Chain A
Amino acid sequence: EVQLVESGGGLVKPGGSLRLSCAASGFPFSTYSMNWVRQAPGKGLEWVSYISSSGTYIYYADSVKGRFTISRDNAKNSLYLQMNSLRGEDTAVYYCARVWDGFNYCDVWGQGSLVTVSS
């Protein structure tokens, strides 16, 4: 079964850091690009970041550029999002999603990990 499982969310103070992980299984992780997408409470979806299968190409939303870092370890079938200088507006459920190369849509999603930034 194709599966993505996020972990690492929690409560953090403004200005703090957190690292999210996404464990992939059931498919050849190293051949797929990946996205992080977030959803603030009661709000819509916001694309956060993209990483190509080899890690060569990386893109960020302007709202997180310079503060968040996406990375992957293909040997461990894992995707990461290092989040620094966190703000209240970063409070959201963070989803990792598999990218279908070509059109770059998200065809498989994890269940999400809640990040709450509050003092």
Chain B
Amino acid sequence: DVQMTQSPSSLSASVGDRVTITCRASQSIRNSLHWYFQKPGKAPKLLIYAASTLQSGVPSRFSGDGSGTDFTLTISSLQPEDFASYYCQQTFTTPYTFGQGTKLEIK
């Protein structure tokens, strides 16, 4: 199975900060890496697919990069609504594993 390791597991930041979350795969997954966002008690929502393509309706302050084994999600200027949990997922091969998540909290 492909193991997905996200870092950090939690992060405190302020409105306006630039933050980066990293996701590393245990083997190459090309660009089959996607990012989701989840608020407490709500369903996840797709942010970025294929490593770097913004899902329709997602603000441009979100960006994704990477291929192979190393990937990043960057939020250029944090907004109050961005404080939530973020997950990466690989769909290169089954099982379609998720990272363990990053909880982004207000400092």
Contact = CB atoms under 8 A, between A and B. Distances in A.
Interface of A: 35, 37, 44-47, 50, 59-62, 95, 100, 103-107, 109-112
Contacts, number: 60
Interface residues of B, number: 24
Interface of B: 1, 32, 34, 36, 38, 43-46, 49-50, 55, 85, 87, 89, 91, 94-101
B55 A107 contact: yes
27 contacts: A44-B100, A44-B101, A45-B87, A45-B89, A45-B101, A47-B89, A50-B96, A59-B94, A61-B95, A100-B49, A103-B34, A103-B49, A103-B50, A104-B32, A104-B91, A105-B46, A105-B50, A105-B89, A106-B34, A106-B44, A106-B46, A107-B46, A107-B55, A109-B43, A109-B44, A109-B45, A111-B43
Contacts of B38: 45
Contacts of A61: 95
